[in-house]
Amino acid sequence: MTTALVWFRQDLRLADNPALRAAIDNCDQVLPVFIDDPADQSVSQVGAASRVWLHNSLHSLNESLQERGNQLLVVQGQAEALLLQLAEHYKVTQVFWNRCYDPVAIKRDKKIKTSLAAYQPRSFNALLNAEPFNTLKADGTPYRVYTPYWRMRCSSLPGEKPLAAPRNIPAPTKKAPVFCTDAPACIERLGLLPARSWPELMMSHWQVGEKAALKNLRTFLKNAVDFYHDERDIPATAGTSRMSPHLHFGEISPRQIMHLLMPDNTNVEKLSRGAETFAKEVIWREFAYTLLYHFPHTLQKPLDKRFDQFPWASGYTKNLRAWQQGQTGVPIVDAGMRELYATGWMHNRVRMVVASYLIKNLLIPWQKGEQWFRETLVDADLASNAMGWQWAAGSGADAAPYFRVFNPVLQGEKFDKQGDYVKRWVPELHSVEPKFIHKPWELPSDIRCSLDYPEPLVDLKASRVRALAAFEQIKVRTK
């Protein structure tokens, strides 16, 4: 009897899982393994909100495996050592996994492939529709602007047909007494949940797992995708797909999404405006991974080297904390930050607004915002998160120009006209009329004083002028 070890990571699903399919096709038995490696405290370590999602997603994956006659072996420790130990104990013939693309994972996986050479390790692409090293310009260099990247990708969409979920996954006959064999208990022992009630509140907004991901996608494609182009900018409505955390944990693949969006290999040109916009967002994520793969330093450092010399504010701890807690005195910013803490997610339009406010109005380094999002987002995808923050800062590829400073008042008045979004997350302003909901500092003084809501940290106009002056300094220094 031959045995394959399948190492699950950002691919917590059974359908369209090439590593799992290869294991079933090549061996008689399959050992599904998930390793939580607490020693790895690099940027690839997931934050608190993502660990809560991971806890629930692992339970969901294990239930799916049990329905097919197997279960997930969940262990904690150093990945390389555990893989070797498991391979030896179970007399493993081959080891399979799906690739990750952050620099820490790439370096670790190369080392593991060498140390596990006796077990014929093989890796596959399950995270993306197309590999970053296969989507280059004609001159062999990576794209740094999204529009030509999108045009290049259009001709290859929707991509290869997704793999069906296996009906049966034969489990190893040999048990391992040195490891916990009760998967639910093992998942609990990982300690992914913090010791407070916040996870229950956050997860009440979500359904987790492969089945939920597919169900939610089908509902979105049936009811909302054709209106996505316009509705995606309105934070008070359910106009987005909310597929990002499912993609982040690999509960669904971009290939599955594209094939459901483009059945029978529909051309991009035949999609509705909303469907095409949604397709562009899925491929935008792949563009972010392309940048991460080719420019790994952009996780922590600006791609535009001029920003190495940017004169950020000093002594910003108090303002940073107020931003994190949704106490800036700017309603749409505070609404977004409170939505983030309560749900582990924030509407994309609002993400741009809160990022611009932190970077340009408060002059706080974008890395501080990226770190907070990585800690609090359930969809804290390394590539998309870093690219989004560098876009807001004006320091990344295809970035917004630095002099583009989002005015949170105008953004609120345009995309939250009646203040429904603000009133949901900032209940202190529930009685404020729409005219003042996004600028309560303009209320009559007697009404303003009766509100339990903070004064703005900074003047929006003055802080915008300060930000532009700071950018002029690095322009001068780098001439």
Contact 419, 234 (CB under 8 A): no
Cα four-point dihedral sign 438, 443, 445, 450: negative
What is the separation of C-alpha 54 from the centre of its chain, rounded to a whole number of angstroms? 13
Q: Where exactly are the structural domains of the chain?
A: 1-127, 128-161+210-294, 305-477
Alpha-carbon distances of 100 from 126, 249, 290, 301, 382, rounded to whole Å: 9, 11, 12, 20, 11
284 part of the active site: yes
Catalytic residue among 160, 188, 231, 281: 281
348 part of the active site: yes
Lowest-confidence segment of 118-122, 179-183, 393-397, 436-440 by average pLDDT: 179-183
Cα four-point dihedral sign 470, 476, 478, 479: positive
Catalytic residue among 206, 366, 372, 391: 366
The two structure tokens encoding residue 447: 């009404």
pLDDT band at 41; cut points 50, 70, 90: very low
Residue range 79-91: mean pLDDT, rounded: 94
How far apart, in whole angstroms, are the C-alpha atoms of residue 96 and residue 61?
A: 17
Helices 331-343 and 348-356 pack at an angle, to 10 degrees, of 120
Catalytic residue among 7, 150, 345, 389: 389
Closest CA to 457 of 328, 276, 275: 328
Contact 409, 356 (CB under 8 A): no
pLDDT band at 42; cut points 50, 70, 90: low
How far apart, in whole angstroms, are the C-alpha atoms of residue 253 and residue 237?
A: 25
What is the chain's mean pLDDT, rounded?
A: 93
Question: Which of residues 168 and 173 earns the better pLDDT score?
Answer: 168
What is the separation of C-alpha 103 from the centre of its chain, rounded to a whole number of angstroms? 16
Predicted structure pTM score: 0.94
Residue-wise pLDDT tens digits, 373-390: 999 999 999 999 999 999
Catalytic residue among 198, 312, 413, 441: 312
312 part of the active site: yes
Q: Which strand (E) or helix (H) includes residue 31?
A: strand 29-36
Class of domain 1-127: alpha beta
Residue range 339-352: mean pLDDT, rounded: 96
Residue-wise pLDDT tens digits, 442-458: 999 989 989 999 999 99
Q: What topology does CATH give the domain 128-161+210-294?
A: 1.25.40
Angle at 447 (CA atoms; ends 444, 450), nearest 5 degrees = 145
Catalytic residue among 348, 375, 413, 428: 348
Closest CA to 161 of 28, 340, 16: 16
How far apart, in whole angstroms, are the C-alpha atoms of residue 359 and residue 366?
A: 6
- The CATH number given to 305-477 is 1.10.579.10
Catalytic residue among 26, 131, 231, 284: 284
- The pLDDT assigned to 443 comes to 95
- The pLDDT assigned to 200 comes to 87
Residues recorded for the chain: 479
Residue-wise pLDDT tens digits, 170-227: 999 876 655 666 888 999 999 999 877 788 889 999 999 999 999 999 999 999 999 9
Contact 362, 33 (CB under 8 A): no
Q: Is residue 96 classed exposed, middle or buried when 0-12, 13-18 and 19+ CB atoms within 10 A define those classes?
A: buried
How far apart, in whole angstroms, are the C-alpha atoms of residue 471 and residue 468?
A: 5
DSSP-derived pairing of the beta strands 94-98 and 122-124: parallel
